[in-house]
Every structure is written in C-alpha cells, then in structure tokens.
Amino acid sequence: MDDYILEMRSITKTFPGVKALSDVSLAVRRGEVHAICGENGAGKSTLMKVLSGVYPAGTYDGEIVYDGEVQKFGGIRDSEHKGIVIIHQELALVPYLSIAENIFLGNERKGRGGLIDWNRANADAAALLREVGLQENPVVPVNTLGVGKQQLVEIAKAISKDVKLLILDEPTAALNDNDSAHLLDLLRRLRDRGITSIIISHKLNEIVAIAQHTTIIRDGKTVETLDMSAPDVDTDRIIRGMVGRDLESYYPERESHPGEEVLRVEGWTVKHPTQDRLVVDHADFNVRAGEVIGIAGLMGAGRTELAMSIFGRSYGRFEEGRVFVHGREVKARSVAEAIDHGIAYATEDRKKYGLNLIEDIRRNVSAAALSKLATRGWVNGNEETKVAEDSRRDMNIKAPSVSSIVGKLSGGNQQKVVLSKWLFTDPDVLILDEPTRGIDVGAKYEIYTIINKLVAAGKAVIVISSELPELLGICDRIYTLSAGRITGEQPVREATQESLMKLMTKERELAA
Amino acid sequence: MTRTVGPDPAQTQTNETPAEVPDAQQQALHSGTSDLRELLTRNLRQSGIYIAFFVVVVLFAILTGGTSLSPGNITNIVLQYSYVLVLAIGMVIVIIAGHIDLSVGSVVALTGSVSAVLVIRHGAPWWAGMLAAIGVGLLVGVWQGYWVAYVGIPAFIVTLAGMLIFRGLTLQVLDNISLSPFTPEYQKVSSGFLNGLIGGNGYDAFTLLIGALAVAGYAVSGFRTRVARIKYKQPVESFPLFIARVVVVAAVVMYFAWQLAHARGLPIVLIILGVLITLYGMITKRSVFGRQVYAIGGNLAAATLSGVKVKVVNFWIFVNMGFLASVAGIIYSSRSNGAQPAAGQNFELDAIAAAFIGGAAVTGGVGTVGGAMVGGLLVAVLSNGMQLQGVDQSIQSVIKGLILLLAVAFDVYNKRRAGSSR
C-alpha cells in the first residue's frame, strides 16, 4: 500500500461560463518528486491554487486529502500552516531586504520584548543557506543576487517554515543550465530528507531526470500519471500525453535559401549603463535575407544587451561600432529610428517589456506602428481592428476577439501578439529574444512555423535562446557569445550542443 | 502586475463582446435585451458611475422637491463647477499617463492674477489679459514638462514644487492684495449668456437650436461610425438599441437645453466646455497622441520599446495641462470678478477626485474624459444638492471624501471580482 501525502480527488473548478478543471485527480506519494505537465492553459496553476487555498474551500468541488485528513483551506495561511509552500515562477522576495530578512519575513526571530533578535536570525539563516547550498552572507540584500540564487533563498524560506510539501511553479524557466542542475540536485537532497515536491515545468528533460511520477493535465482534465521508472517513458512519451498526438518532430522542416545580406554589425561595443565595463565587446555578425541565425550564450554573456543596444540603443552606453542595413550604414539612436530602418526586437520578457497587459489585442498589435494606421494624427479604428483580426487569424491567436485583454491570454498567445506587433512594423530584420520561453510545446511549434514563414518571405531572423536544441533545430548559422565577445560562428550542420557549449564557455576558461 | 494562469477564460468572457461574430447583419438580429445587458456589463465600472450619477440626480430632485432640477439651478451648477471640469479634462490625461498634477490650483491663481494685473491695473483690453494668461499657462506647462519628461523627476515632486512656486509667484504678481473688478467684457466669459440671438417666445430659441444641433451631431457621427463598422464587418449594437441610445441622449440634452432656455439662455462657459470635451474626447480616443498616452500609462517599458517617444509625449501632456489650467484660470477670475491671492486652492484635489471617481486607474493606463466629466458632475450635483439642503460645510467635505473612497474601492472590488489572478 502506497503512502500518499496528498490526494486531490475529483477536483472541479468552474469560473462563470467555463470549466477550468473537470474531475481532476492527483495522488502524490510521500517523499517523491512529482511532476505536473501540461500545455499552458491546461489547468496546472489553477490546480495548485486550489491546493494552496488561493481558491478557498467551497469555491470548488471535490476533496483534498493531505496527511490523511480532508482539508478545507480558507487561504494560503491555512495551507502553509500545514507545511504546503508554493514557490511561484515570479519570485516573491523583497528586493532591498537582506537574505535573512526575506527568509524570516512574517516569521521573524524575536527576542526579548518582541524585538527582532538579529544575531539569531542571521545565524539561523546561515544554517538554512548551507542546507540549500548557497554560499552567501545572510545580510546582503537579495537584489544583489542572480535569479538562481534568489530561487534558493525562496527554498530556504520554505524550509524555515517546516515545509512538508514544496510546490515549484516553473522553477528553472529563468535559470541557466548550471543553476538548473544545482536546483534539481537540491530537490533530490530534500527528497532524501523526506520533503515531497511537486514541480511544474516545461523542461521535459529535467522532469525525466528528477521525477518519480508525472501527472499530465490537458484541457482541465487528468490524462494520466506516468511512472517514470517504467522503461518506455521518455520526453516523447510525455509530449504525446500533453498534446494528445505525436509531434512529428519538435522543429518544422525548412528549406534554406539565404539571399542578400540584410544586416551587418561591425565592432559593436557597449558599456554597462552605470559601471565602467564593456558588456558587448567588438561584436561582428551578419544575417542574410531568408536566413535564421542564432545567438547562443550563457546567462550574463550579453545576448540581450547586444540585441537591445542595436535596437535603438535601448541598453547601456554606446561606445563604438557600425550597423549596416542592406549595405548602407544606419545610425539608429532611438527605438523609433530602429523601427524606421526595418529592425524589430521582440523582448525576452513579454510581460514586462513587450505588452500593455491591461489593453486588448488590437491596441497591442498596433502599438509599434500606429502611424501606419493614422492620417494627420488620427487613428482609423476600423482599419486597426482589421489589422488585428488578420493577425489573429494568421497567427492563430486563441482569443474570443481582438478586444480580449492581453493580460488574460496564455503565454503562447501573448507571444503571438508580440510577434504580430513587430510584423506589423514590416521589418527586414527580426530579433527574437527567447521567443519560446515559458510557453508550451504546441505553441512553440507554432512559433517555429511562424519563423519559417517569415524567412520564406525573405525576412532575416535572429534568434537568441538559452535552449541549444532549439537553436540547432531552427537556425542556419549560430554565433556564440561569451562575456560580450563573439567567440565562434558555426553553420548548423557542423554544430552540436557540445561544440557550442565549448565556444560559449571559451572566455571563462581563458580567464581561469 | 497580472500573471497569466491556467484557464481563467471566465474573465475574458464576462466583459467582452461575443466571441465569434460572423457578420454584422447577424449581430444586428440580436434581441435588444441581451444587447443592452452586454452594453451595461461590458464596462461595469463606467456604467456604475453613470448609474451613480443618475441616482444622485434623482435623489436630490426628490429631496429638494424639484428645486435642484430648476432652470436656474442647472445654470448655476454649470457656472459654478465649469473650471473644475476644465481642469479635470487635463488631469485625467495626466493620470492616464501615470502621473499626477498637484499644481493646477496655484496655476489657476497665477494665470488669473496675471490677467487681472494687465486688465485691471494697467487697463489692457480683455483679450490681452486672456492671451497673457494662456501664455503663462503654457510656460508653466513647459517648465513642469521639462522636469518631468527630460530630467525624469516624478511628477508628484515637480508639481508639489510647482504648487509652492506658482502660489508664491501669484502673491508676488498681486503684491499680496486682491484686484477687482474686471471690465464687463471679461466678466462675460463666466457670466455671459447667448440669449435672444434669434428671438423666442419666453424661451431662447438659439439655445434650443444649439441643443438640437448637438443632438443631430451626436446622431450623425454615431450613425457614420456604425456604417463604417458594418463596412469593416465589426459587431455593432442592434438598430433599435442604437435608436434608443440616440433618443435617450436627445431627451436628456433637449431637456437640459429647454431648462437653460427658460432661464437665462446658453452660458458662454457651457460652449467653451462643450468644445473642450468634444475635442479632448476625440484626442484621447482617436489620436495617435492619445493612444500613446494610454500606452505609456499601461506599460512604460513596453511603450518605450515600441518606439513611443515617451519624453515628448510626457512633455506635451504637461504643456496641455498648463494650457487647460490657464483656461480654468480665466474662467475663474472672470467668475470671481478679480484675482485673489488665495484663488484656486484645493482645485487640484477636486480635479483629481473627478478623474478617479470617473474611472481612472491609480496605476495609470485607464480613464476617459467622459468619465472624468461625469465624475466631476457627480461631485458638483452632490455639493450643490447638499448646499440646497443646507448641509453643513464640514459634513459636505466628509461626504465628498467618502464618495471618492467608495468609487476607487468599487474599482478595486470590480477588478478583483473580474479575477485578476491575485
């Protein structure tokens, strides 16, 4: 008989008019790492909100049995009291407070007279940091740490609350490979200490590496729970469950016919906005019409900084370098000028930098080229709607109408809105920064298809990505970037993950 | 900050137009009732303010035995609160962009006093005083716009400083004493009426004509929009509902015009106000500039990376606020028939309250000129009604404060109910 720490039975959650979860069951054994997979919008996060009490008992049907008792959580405090802690994708740390202050926030180490005993707090925090393998002084503010380390602080905070069931929502989405590996290692150690984890992730390799069981959710229903120790279970098997069909391949086929050179960058050098150091150091690269080039680099290599500084000097302080579009030198000192010269840049963080989340699809699509819809400063609203409708159809944006609020769409559909916005500027060069971050397998495939359509139409596309298989799957050529320098250029047929990784870490080895 | 989570399509469905509308014809076949419900629920926040306004008007009509709706009183409300409404137009734009302007009260005082000094002390013609006032207002806007847009100091600080600076300058300009009276032409701005231009029998035919023209304009532009939308295969309201909407608006406007015609005719202020509301309503809704204001308020970083010239837009927002503050300054100085060192105190608060009661979001990116006008009128009718009822000044202040709090609380509640995932 298995010992289940958590059983969610026949959970059904309805929002007015829509069934978000329908008869979903989830059984998690004590002391395992249990993965939950599903496309964006499948209902994973809703299920976790039901579990943690964000949607309190009574607002859903079904029952939650935790630690052998039926639980009726009225809010997050109730579930945390029982040892269930959720760590969200977007971290909930206070940036200017120290590590120790964050760990014990709301749970302060008090001494005499109700004042905080800082010595005890810092000592306890240091012990927790050792446990999660983070070598930092507990008094430093968390905003000085990278995302990976902040995640570890979150986990230390969870441990301080005597966590029994740890839920991680997309924990490695923003992490580089090293940090991800470290985090997975930590989960294994926690498991050995008897802490159960539920991990929601799109990175299937990681799930295969760490989970004992995987529950797949599709369209608000449980599809199956896979025993990961079974011989035939691999990433393809999970994908089949998620999409309900076999993906022929991750990456759609494309014939490559590169044409004229569209963009050439020479000696591009950019300084950090406040510090006296080069973030991009004499970068040279080019891209031709009908070609996809990739830029590979570890976190901090300067990929986004390179792209944004070319895009109207949106990052850092320009030092030197020249940009040629169609062989003619252009000086794009502002975003508007860059757009005029046919350069478009779709950001890696669409919620923060890419979209106006409180506006509808229509107004987001037109945002970068409003003047194309205007005569003498007045916008033609009907024409705008038509443009948005066309985008919705061409891009297959799943939304009730173009007046749907963008903040309420799933990640994949939001990304399609971002792409629509930039395509409406009619660019020659499209720089896509992490175009598939945080979106599900099905939508990724759609994005790749869109990229293929663009190059077929003669556009030049630059893709920045942390996922090497993605670059290998869609690019013609790949540049590697390390510490702001281009360290290599490989045609895709010669490149392998290993060869790229070697180039991406070149600088560091030299320095070491 | 909203996070996209699981399927919460409930939110998308509650306040949207129907998902798939094959063609406008089919839409037009919809029954009037479901259409109406949709109209109301589409933007509960907006319709909430109209309903609240209606309730307050009816309430005071009953309490005062109809006095509050008397021709004389309606004229009074317009005259008394016009400058707050003018300020609220500029203020809502400032707020949509995510700023605030605390200085407008002082700017009203400064522009009014510059005008008064020229006209009353130096005997300049009335129009010279007004032009000077507008010039000063624009200069103030340029000053504040420069600090906000190009230096990057938060508007709260810049305009707090402005509040002190321009109040001080007002005292300087006036040498600390009040000036009075203005020439009759100058007074006309606030207390003049267009009356008897084309005669009438106990009522002013001209006022009725303007009212009728306004209704006709509303109907024609509404119809043209409708035709254009049908041409683009956009969903439109059913034809009976369209007619009903026009009839309701026509009834309200003509009743209002009728009452004015019975009293003293068409106030010049009302014409100024009507022109400004129409113009700025269009600017915010349909112009590139207006749309960029919303984009900046909605997500500054995204707007910047979409090529919006944020600095330029922010600069002009404040120049425009300065301009409208000078218009309010002219109206106020004309109404008070002079300039006082303490003029315009707390006007900024009334204007800000009007914008927020009218549905502007504290976080920026949301708000309308129309909403701010109704918000301002709500406060106006409320104050006026309470005055007629002889409610103590102190109680009036408490009630106005509560209304502001309730309006924003209602907004917050609505957003939460709509399920923004936190």
pLDDT for residue B73: 83
pLDDT attached to residue B3: 38
Q: CATH number of A4-243: 3.40.50.20, 3.30.530.80, 3.40.50.300, 3.40.640.10?
A: 3.40.50.300
Could you tell me the fold of the domain covering A256-342+427-512? Rossmann fold (3.40.50)
Instruction: Give backbone dihedrals phi and psi of B94, rounded to 5 degrees, phi first.
Output: -60, -45
| Residue in A43, A345, A377 closest to B289 by CB | A377
Distance of CA B295 to the CA centre of its chain: 20
Across residues A475-485, what is the average pLDDT?
90
Mapped onto helix, strand or coil, the DSSP state of residue A239 is: helix
Lowest mean pLDDT among A219-233, A339-353, A446-460: A219-233
Q: What is the pLDDT of residue B57?
A: 87
Please name the residues between 4 and 63 in chain A that touch chain B, using a CB distance below 8 Å: 15-18, 20, 40-47, 49
- Considering only CB atoms, B299 lies closest to which of A49, A89, A357, namely A357
Task: Report the residue from B12, B282, B308 with minimal CB separation from A400.
Answer: B12
Sequence-separated contacts (24+) of A157-161 with Cβ below 8 Å: A157/A102, A157/A103, A157/A104, A157/A105, A157/A128, A158/A85, A158/A87, A159/A128, A159/A131, A159/A132, A159/A190, A159/A195, A160/A103, A160/A104, A160/A107, A160/A124, A160/A128, A161/A80, A161/A83, A161/A85, A161/A107
pLDDT tens, A210-259? 999 999 988 788 888 988 888 888 877 887 777 665 444 578 888 888 88
With CA atoms as reference, the chain A residue closest to B226 would be A382
pLDDT in the model for residue B18? 38
What pLDDT is recorded for position B52? 81
> Do residues A208 and A233 lie in contact, with contact meaning Cβ atoms separated by under 8 Å?
yes
Closest CA to A421 of A355, A465, A357: A355
- Residue B337, both tokens: 């028939």
Question: Does the ipTM exceed 0.85?
Answer: no
Parallel, antiparallel, or unpaired for β A4-15 and A18-29? antiparallel
Q: How far is B323 from chain A (nearest CA, A)?
A: 20
Secondary structure letter of residue A459 according to DSSP: -
How far is A12 from A22, CA to CA, in rounded Å? 4
For residue A359, give the chain B residue with the closest CA: B298
Please count the CA atoms within 13 angstroms of the CA of B263 that sit on its side-chain side: 21
Q: How many angstroms separate the CA of residue B23 from the nearest CA in chain A?
A: 13
Contact A408 B294 (CB under 8 A): no
Residue segments in chain B with a per-residue pLDDT below the cut of 50: 1-34, 419-422
A:300-319 residues touching chain B, CB 8 A cutoff? 311-312, 314
Question: Which of the pair, A70 or A205, is modelled with greater confidence?
Answer: A70
- Give A-chain residues touching B227 at CB under 8 angstroms: none
Give the SS3 label for residue B188.
Answer: helix
A and B: number of Cβ contacts within 8 A:
165
Using a CB-CB cut-off of 8 Å, the residues of chain A touching B6 are: 20, 41-47, 49
Longest CA pairwise span in chain A (Å):
75
Residue ranges covered by each domain of chain B:
22-416
Order of strands, edge to edge, in the sheet holding A213-218?
A84-87, A165-169, A196-200, A33-37, A213-218, A221-227
The answer, yes or no, to whether residue A41 has pLDDT greater than 80, is no
- How big is chain A, counted in residues? 512
Q: What is the DSSP letter of A247?
A: -
Burial A465-489 (b: 16+ CB within 10 A, else e): bbbbebbbbbbbbbbbbbbbbbbbe
Mean pLDDT over all residues of chain A? 87
Chain A residues in contact with B11 (beta carbon < 8 A)? 15, 405, 408
Cβ neighbours of A358 in B, within 8 Å: 2, 298-299, 361, 365-366
Do domains A4-243 and A256-342+427-512 share one topology? The answer is yes
Contact yes or no for B305 and A314 at CB 8 A: yes
Q: Cα-flanking dihedrals φ and ψ of residue A24, to 5°?
A: -90, 135
Domain spans, chain A: 4-243, 256-342+427-512, 352-426
Please answer whether residues B421 and B11 qualify as being in contact, where contact means their C-beta atoms are separated by less than 8 angstroms.
Answer: no
Is the CB of residue A183 less than 8 Å from the CB of residue A148? Answer: yes
Separation between Cα atoms, residue B23 and residue B229, nearest integer Å: 11
pLDDT tens by residue, A292-342: 999 998 767 889 999 999 999 999 899 999 999 999 999 999 999 999 999
Percent of chain A with pLDDT over 90: 42
Helix (H) or strand (E) holding B54: helix B44-63
Which residues of chain B lie closer than 8 angstroms to A371, CB-CB? 288
User: Are A45 and B9 within 8 A, CB to CB?
Assistant: no
Look at A90 and B303 and tell me if their CB atoms are within 8 Å: no
Displacement of CA A141 from its chain's centroid (Å): 24
Contact of A395 with A413, CB cutoff 8 Å: no
